[in-house]
Amino acid sequence: MDANTNGQLDDAPMDVDGQETQIVPARGHRPPSPPAVPPLRAQSEPFQVVNEFTVGYVYSQEMLLHASVHGHPEQPDRITRIFEAILGAKLIPKMKQIPIRPVYRKEALLVHTEEHWDKVLAIQSMTAQDITDSDSYYESLSLYVMNGTTRAARLSCGGVIEACLKVAQGHLKKTFAIVRPPGHHAEPDEHMGFCFFNNVAVAAKVVQLCTRIKRILILDWDVHHGNGTQRAFNDDPTVLYISIHRYERGQFYPCGPFGGLDSCGEGPGLGYSVNVPWPTKGMTDADYIHAFQQIVMPIALEFAPELVIISAGFDAADGDDLGECHVSPAGYAHMTHMLASLAGGKMVVALEGGYNLDSISNSALAVARTLLGDAPPELPPMMASEAGTETVWHVALEQSKYWKNINPKACEPREEMDEITFSIPEILKGHRQHFMYSQYKMLQVPLMPAYEERYGSQVMCTNDLLENETVVLFVHEFGNLRVELDGSPMCNVSMEHSYLIDFSKDLIAWVKGEEYALADVNLFPRPFPASALPTLRPKAAENPARDLLTYIWDNYIQ
């Protein structure tokens, strides 16, 4: 007998499924060939390494090195409180920690100038006297600095880059970058507004350069406009930047017209910057979700991003004294949930602002739960404010120039004061009726109820309509209303410089001079249900003006 390579004998009894099988030859006969043995069947599935995590996070205590000795809203406790809240909710074990590293020079230069890079790096070499002497300069930029600032800023930016790459490369589905200092105010050539490097903008550029992902949506719900982020992509059609922020006619930080609703990008990027500029403080969940439903999601669906990055400032949260708005943790969870439906669920949440420690930690926790797959908490019945609906409507009017999914009619504000208000057309109709009677003794033509409802007081005639052999039928709408505004930011009408140009005065004077009869028909209608108009012809309700003229011709002129 020969031994096999495993040290076992070839003619040794075979053990199949734990049972020995021996072959005993009959005397004088050659041993028969052993029966064919079927291939061994595996007792269980082969061992496979299962990817345990689909959600990751970035966090490092090194970012606590950036701290003001005098106290400042942008304080280290912002990220420690968020991390402790997520840890206390026992969510950290469900998330994969992503190693953090500082942003590289070549990465930062994808967005920032070389002078800007050198300026931020120089901070780490400043002496105590240098820091003191430059305090007023940095204060004018809404910044503070210390030797640890450079390291923290580089880690914050590098952390967001790593969070984005892990999702873009398919290692994780979603990530949360718990980083500071924030970044969305940092412009290509300037640090400002608590920000040194534009974390999200740099990360988006790196993703586009190093992966197959090209179309990126950046949704910025920080209460301040992300001027630096929009500036980085203002002419870039591959990045859709949407910001919901307090604006207040350009008086709220960072101030100026950049970030207004008509700030929509430039060149090939025109239409790829979308701003929802709240005109006042106090905006709520209802306002934000209304903006999401009418502006954010329709545009995002049409853009079809391959990656979603949220510039997640929580300073619009209820309780934040800088933001003075009232978005709840549940509100942030719902917005996150809606965005998670895009890009196949590939999402990165990068911390920006937020300065009330309780508000920021509770809001961030709600977002983390949503990233892990929890359903958003139930919201109570709510309705967007008048300021919110007006703003969203104006944004829809602007963005409908660029996006087919935007329907301004769908978000036109409802009139809530019908009983005590008069529309401009109604005022002008009343003026015209008085003018025609007082100047020319013209009377209102009786109409049947269906027409009276929509055109009442708009059909006038001279008292000789039925006797005069010559009748002039004058059909029109209004004249040209010329309105001058006090200023485009306010849109208030300058009453003394606004007027109506009405050619009909001269025409009516000529008709009277020729002693003709006159029927004056104003076809500017009141809205009414199409079914209210009686007609014998199919689809006649589609042209009510034609039906009115036919009625007048048949009953008063012919």
Enzyme catalytic residues: 185
Q: Are 85 and 361 in contact (CB under 8 A)?
A: yes
For 286-345, where are the E strands, in sequence order?
307-312
Q: Are 350 and 199 in contact (CB under 8 A)?
A: yes
Alpha-carbon dihedral sign for residues 440, 443, 445, 451:
positive
462 contact partners, CB below 8 Å, separation of at least 6: 440, 441, 442, 443, 468, 512, 517, 518
Q: Which of 157, 142, 149 is nearest to 119 (CA)?
A: 149
DSSP 197: S
CA 315 to chain centre: 16
234 contact partners, CB below 8 Å, separation of at least 6: 265, 266, 269, 273
**Any idea which residue has 């015209």 for tokens?**
432
Separation of alpha carbons 446 and 456, rounded Å? 8
∠ CA 218-92-174, rounded to 5°: 25
Q: Are 281 and 315 in contact (CB under 8 A)?
A: no
